[in-house]
């Protein structure tokens, strides 16, 4: 599976009782987005429902500041807590559905950075982060039903980064779902290429080292 990021254009940052909040349509199904991807409603709804039940309802749906290159959530980098994700049918006939999200900026170090930037007038954006495979259909990449939502929103400085940059940083790696729901990078193909280049003695050493590394991340 690839790590998928989707920028969110219409983001509102509001201040209430001294704290900033985010309001935006975090996820959209049924329409081709700026990354030439489309999310089918029936493919992603079960996963979004799981995310709501397991993360949002238990106050565990945090997001990070900037562009993480891993699908895993790092609490040390948390900047906000997603508090709600509501489904809204935009166009029933065309199957276009939004999930409108809200989040509050935390008092963590990164949350304070976000608040300070907003206070000084810096424009910030929001981006979803998920895992999933895609299938090319008539020139459009359809996200398949192995979709896994990592976070409904990360706060980013430039959500409109060029597609080439996003692909180079985030989509040049494959990921597998390991035990206990953890996501791990798939190293196998890289190992094969390295082993073909090296001597037998060096290859055995690298094989053992990489296998031990793989075991530690399961």
Minimal CA–CA distance to 213: which of 186, 195, 193?
Answer: 186
Distance CA 104, CA 120 (A): 18
For residue 196, the SS3 value is: helix
Minimal CA–CA distance to 22: which of 66, 68, 76, 63?
Answer: 63
Annotated active-site positions, please?
67, 127
Distance CA 86, CA 88 (A): 6
In contact, 65 and 154? CB cutoff 8 Å? yes
Distance CA 59, CA 110 (A): 18
- Which two three-digit tokens encode residue 148? 């896994």
In contact, 216 and 179? CB cutoff 8 Å? no
Q: DSSP label at 94?
A: T
């Amino acid at each position: 599976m690839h790590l998928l990021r989707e920028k969110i254009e219409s983001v509102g940052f509001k201040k209430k009782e001294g704290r900033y909040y985010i309001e935006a349509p975090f996820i959209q199904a049924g329409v081709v987005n700026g990354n030439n991807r489309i999310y089918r409603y029936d493919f992603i709804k079960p996963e979004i429902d799981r995310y709501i039940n397991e993360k949002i309802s238990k106050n565990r749906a945090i997001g990070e500041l900037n562009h993480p290159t891993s699908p895993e959530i790092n609490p040390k980098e948390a900047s906000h807590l997603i508090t709600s994700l509501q489904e809204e049918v935009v166009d029933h006939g065309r199957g276009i559905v939004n999930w409108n999200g809200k989040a509050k900026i935390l008092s963590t170090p990164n949350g304070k950075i976000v608040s300070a930037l907003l206070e000084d007038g810096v424009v910030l954006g929001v981006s979803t982060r998920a895992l999933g495979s895609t299938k090319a259909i008539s020139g459009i990449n359809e996200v398949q039903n192995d979709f896994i939502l990592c976070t409904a929103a990360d706060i980013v400085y430039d959500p409109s980064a060029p597609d080439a940059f996003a692909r180079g940083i985030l989509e040049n790696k494959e990921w597998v779902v390991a035990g206990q729901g953890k996501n791990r990078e798939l190293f196998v193909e890289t190992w094969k290429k390295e082993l073909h280049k090296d001597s037998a003695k060096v290859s055995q050493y690298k094989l053992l080292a990489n296998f031990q590394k793989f075991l530690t991340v399961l």
